[in-house]
Chains A and B, each alone.
Chain A
């Protein structure tokens, strides 16, 4: 069997396995085994991919497989990966793995919880391996739907409201996306040819410019909503705040990356002309996202809200980089997606663990936790430092690559936008340190906190996995950046051929 298909088959088998389990112990064991296998498989994929490339295989997509599954519309099950998808798959593997261990104590309806969680993961994995727009969309929906149940049933606070808001806004995004995808489908080949959903096929031709102008905003905003594009980001704070830990991790860590990934795999790759024409609008919006999210985070009091706004800022940077449309910025965007995925997953995991102990997420109700839960405290500081872009952690590599990529544009507009985006690193430092200070430092404010216990083995496993990911990329970014860089060649070539009338 094709190795990529395994990425969908294993979660499905895991789900089937969970159906036969009786209680929390069994279902979490099955999930843990399934996702460990998945993580190992991701590692193998990275290894196979790198060796294949070193062996000189220059094909744009490796490990491809194609099967027709709905002839009437020429829909294929077409899979294949390049360096970018490989990196995203590895990220998903790590985050899902950590997520399972972060929900080790999910007592309520545990079987159903793990089923939904892994179903979500299936959708994400499927999305990243797909080359067929329709299959891609299908997997996207598979990932979004369990979200509603996960937040609505296992959430906290105003969970029905948040679940509904999140799902409806993402569905709104899907609707826009559907218009975009169908539009692309009907103009995928020149008049008379067999219409196709296959990304690689479509990329060979040029979609008529008038259609691009119309379809690009639909597609980009459709993906942008998932990537928390200002002003369509408000599902994110509410959704994340209400979601259970593992869901926040997966959602902010991976699902939001579907937006960034889709934005350049579909929107920019297939419609480069319109992308270049309309980029300025979205550059303004994303620059706002970056700074606005950071300022928004300063004022919040709920840990999850702070992190959600920080995600708005960081994901804004992803879309910002995507819109800069050059090799460096694209590389930065992908690294930022991975880096933010790991970082934010780590944050949400820690917040869940702290909440499980103190039963509050309000920072002003906590203080001095470093003394009682040093392990979680130290990891929180590491996560914070990574998030504010300290060298040695992945965030720094990503941000620097993005800034240098963005600065490559010589005109004033891009440069001002870049400087606005750069300034976010200071604001980020402000809110991160504010949280770290109130939460962990100082004297202990509540005597109940004196008896808190530090992390258990499964919490340590979950967080350390993510910390290793962050530092590994931060210390040795070259392999990752080269892997991504190489895979960008087709996109860059396509962008280079763009001839814009009147520009």
Chain B
């Protein structure tokens, strides 16, 4: 027992709320289920903030490194002689930071949904699923070991599945849920095999042991090789595959846009702020192993991140569904975080990328949740997801408009909003590591500013559409979370992350490098300016641009046909060319053999059954002749 033992309550409260609300679903009338969920999460959020305050401020001796504390641990299962699965709670800078992110966004979403989901069928069910998700996500971030993380990793997967498929009567919602689950499950296969390799190479699951620079993991880096890379590197790459699946990295990203079928608060919570950054968190968790044990794996992380951020940004340029634009923007931003981890080194200022990644994760959670919740307020007002059915909404939705604008400026990297600070750190880290990666990210920054303002202008400017009824501002219960998150988006950039969350626990000094910051602001402004030119008032310029680059436009609009490729692989190849032949083989060859044996027996017996004529005298004759024959044999031959 130690002074952090109470943190056990942080995941457990949502868990019990889930059980209670889930079982008593029918009995909870009106908003009661939602209120229980919100209060439960409120307590968990309070405890998280208290933990952060205690860990970063009261318990920390100035100038020393932040250490990790095991608040609680029990044995859950013995696997092999050496490997034991424990469940516990690990308190260290990144887990505390994630605790704040998850509980804040989740709490905001809980409050917001009280308004957004009002009158939906299964309101209580929604809250029980939200609580399940919060429990799993908190369990994930607090995990003491890799296997615990895997357990909760699967649980967040399933709660995401349940929430995407919340409108289960809509076939598209369920197929999106199914897709999300299966794609991430496929990625988890990589994760699991990675865990198998890593745990058998190092003999432990425990994070504290794994990330120890002198521990078994890092010292095994030079071990047995397979196809030119050490086993450790393979393990790390495979683990990253799992992270890439959850974080929607190319080419495992296809589930994320479809996941927008879920209710918008869910998208804000799971598919923008928390679950999708689990992959980043996973790599950050094992960062010392990556940095010191498998630099090749880290390079993979960087390139996948960079490619995804560019790829997603290009797709986001042309999408018309506002939630999908945001989804692709999420992918792009997570690509930033991955890249930043990928270019980072270990320890001190070398670890700038690590710090930047976590910093961006934090600010991104705030502004992306804000964007989604704002989009939710818009959808709530006009009952459509499609940009072309929106316009001129700034008059009707003043609060949503203001907060949305703040979020757009934040993501575009305009100072003094938080996004500027975190993105700047990433660009600095990339600049010092690899100029090509830096170039990609620089370009993406411009694209981001452009598509975000395209979105912004399409929704809030232009002329009014034919709305079924006059759009009205969302109720207070929805706008308050918007305002809180807007506050977070503006000011979270001022947090001294380089003193709090660093690769080795020691703080370092960091300042804004204007040589990089100034051009990055510039490209952001250029992006905004182009968007203003094209979309502020309706004109023929967007259509002209689309026509000029018609191929590129179509490819981007169709998301580079990745979905079609997957569909081809799953439907055609797996279903038709594997599963159908297996079923046929089973029916006709394997079962056919068995039936063949049976038929052979039937055939033989059919042919010899003529002997059994049923005529007594024939039997008698055979019998007598047999006796006579035997007598003759015995008498004359023997």
* B175 contacts partner chain A, Cβ-Cβ < 8 Å: yes
Does B54 have its Cβ within 8 Å of any Cβ on chain A? Answer: no
What is the CB-to-nearest-CB distance from B380 to chain A, in angstroms, rounded to a whole number?
A: 24
Closest chain-B Cβ to A413's Cβ sits at a distance in Å of: 15
The contact of B182 among A396, A418, A433, by CB within 8 Å, is A433
Given A169-B594, A234-B594, A392-B155: A296 and B192 interface contact (C-beta under 8 Å): no
Bound: A418/B595 CA distance, A: 32
> Which of B70-78, B276-284, B363-371 faces chain A?
B70-78
Given A433-B182, A441-B165, A441-B169, CB of A296 within 8 Å of CB of B586: yes
Q: Taking CB as reference atom, which chain B residue is nearest A305? A: B583
Nearest-neighbour CB distance to chain B for A429, whole angstroms, equals 5
Considering the complex, give the chain A residue whose CB is closest to the CB of B153: A391
CA distance A434 to B85 in the complex (A): 32
How many contacting A-B pairs (Cβ < 8 A)?
127
Q: A299–B575 contact, CB under 8 A?
A: yes
Residue interface bits B166-185, CB-to-A below 8 A is 1, else 0: 00111100110010011001
- Give chain B residues whose Cβ lies under 8 Å from the Cβ of A440: 168
Q: Which of A110-118, A122-130, A419-427 contacts B (4 or more CB under 8 A)?
A: A419-427
* A442 CB within 8 Å of chain B: yes
**Is B196 an interface position by the 8 A CB rule?**
yes
Complex Cα distance A231/B192, Å? 29
Interface residues of B in 142-171 (CB under 8 A from A): 147, 150-152, 154-155, 158, 165, 168-171
Residue A211 lies at the interface, judged by CB distance under 8 Å to chain B: no
The CA-CA distance from A145 to B327 in the complex, in Å, is 59
- A396 x B154 contact (CB < 8 A): yes
Q: List the B residue with the shortest CB-CB distance to A406.
A: B196
A390–B162 Cα distance when bound, in Å, is 13
Given A401-B79, A426-B189, A234 and B586 touching (CB < 8 A)?
yes
Contact stretch, chosen from A11-19, A93-101, A175-183, A476-484: A476-484
A397 to B79, CA, bound (A): 10
Selected contact of A299 from candidates B81, B158, B192, B579, CB within 8 Å: B579
Compute how far the CA of A269 lies from the CA of B186 in the bound complex, rounded to whole angstroms.
37
CA distance A231 to B594 in the complex (A): 9
- Once bound together, how far apart are the Cα atoms of A235 and B594, in whole Å? 9
On whether the beta carbons of B152 and A391 are closer than 8 Å, the reply is yes
| Contact call B80/A405, Cβ cutoff below 8 A | yes
Residues of B within 8 A of A423 (CB): 189
Q: Is the CB of B196 within 8 A of A404?
A: yes
A265 partner residues in chain B, CB cutoff 8 A: none
Chain A's closest residue to B592 (CB) is A234
Question: How many angstroms from the CA of A228 to the CA of B147 in the assembled complex?
Answer: 31
Selected contact of B582 from candidates A292, A408, A429, CB within 8 Å = A292
Q: Inside 8 A of B158's CB, which chain A residues have their CB?
A: 385, 390
Does A368 sit within 8 A of B, measured CB to CB?
yes
CB contacts (< 8 Å) of B200 on chain A: these are 407-408
Q: Are A482 and B78 in contact (CB under 8 A)?
A: yes
For window 199-222 of chain B, which residues contact chain A by CB distance below 8 Å? 199-200
Q: Is A430 an interface residue (CB 8 A)?
A: yes
Set of chain B residues within 8 Å of A230, measured between Cβ atoms = 590
Q: How large is the interface on A (under 10, 10 to 19, 20 to 34, 35 or more residues)?
A: 35 or more
Complex Cα–Cα for A233 and B586 (A): 9
A327 at the interface (CB under 8 A from B): yes
Within the complex, what minimum Cβ distance (angstroms) separates A334 from chain B? 14
**Is B193 positioned at the interface, with any CB of A under 8 Å from its CB?**
yes
How many chain B residues sit at the interface, stated as a range, is 35 or more
Contacting residues, chain A, for B586 (C-beta < 8 A): 234, 237, 292, 296
Contact A429 B169 (CB under 8 A): no
Partner of A441, one of B174, B189, B193: B174
Q: Is B28 part of the binding interface, using a Cβ–Cβ cutoff of 8 Å?
A: no
Whether A404 and B582, one on each chain, are in contact in the complex, defined by CB atoms closer than 8 angstroms, is no
Are A437 and B175 in contact, CB atoms less than 8 angstroms apart? Answer: yes
Expressed in whole angstroms, the Cα–Cα distance for A16 and B82 within the complex equals 52
**Which residues of chain B in 417-474 are interfacial with respect to chain A, using CB atoms and an 8 Å cutoff?**
none
CB nearest neighbor in A for B121: A371
- Check: A165 CB closer than 8 A to any chain B CB: yes
Contacts of B170 in A (CB 8 A): 442
Name the residue of chain B whose CB is nearest to the CB of A367. Answer: B171
Residues of chain A in range 374-420 having any CB-CB distance to chain B below 8 Å: 385, 388-392, 396-397, 400-401, 403-405, 407-408, 418-419
Cβ of B578 under 8 Å from chain A: yes
Do B594 and A422 touch (CB < 8 A)?
Answer: no
Question: What chain B residues lie within 8 Å of A358 (beta carbons)?
Answer: none
Inter-chain contact A425/B77, CB cutoff 8 Å? no
Q: Is B558 an interface residue (CB 8 A)?
A: no
Q: Which listed residue (A165, A327, A370, A419) contacts B193, Cβ 8 A? A: A419
Interface check B83, CB cutoff 8 A: yes
Which listed residue (B75, B81, B151, B189) contacts A425, Cβ 8 A?
A: B189
Given contacts A390-B155, A392-B155, A396-B154, contact A328 B186 (CB under 8 A): no
Decide: B78 and A485 in contact? CB cutoff 8 A: yes
**Which of B54-86 touch A at CB < 8 Å?**
75-81, 83, 85
Chain B residues with CB under 8 A of A401: 77, 79
| B-side contacts of A190, CB under 8 Å | none
Asked whether any CB of chain B lies closer than 8 Å to the CB of A168, the reply is: yes
B155 engages A433 (CB within 8 Å): no
Known contacts: A169-B594, A390-B155, A405-B80. The answer to whether A296 contacts B583 by CB under 8 A is yes
* Distance from B144 Cβ to chain A, minimum over Cβ atoms (Å): 15
A106 interface hit (Cβ, 8 Å): no
List the A side residues contacting B575 at CB < 8 Å: 298-299
A422 to B190, alpha carbons, bound, how many Å? 10
B174 lies within 8 A of A442 (CB): yes
* Additional A-B contact list (18), CB under 8 Å, known A405-B80, A426-B186: A165-B598, A168-B598, A234-B590, A234-B594, A235-B594, A295-B578, A295-B579, A296-B582, A299-B575, A299-B583, A370-B168, A401-B77, A423-B189, A425-B185, A425-B188, A425-B189, A441-B165, A443-B169
Q: Which 6 A-B pairs have the closest CB atoms?
A: A299-B583, A441-B174, A234-B591, A391-B151, A298-B579, A295-B582
User: Could you give 16 example pairs across A and B, Cβ below 8 Å?
Assistant: A231-B590, A295-B582, A296-B583, A299-B579, A400-B85, A404-B79, A404-B199, A405-B79, A405-B80, A407-B196, A419-B193, A426-B186, A441-B171, A477-B77, A478-B76, A478-B77
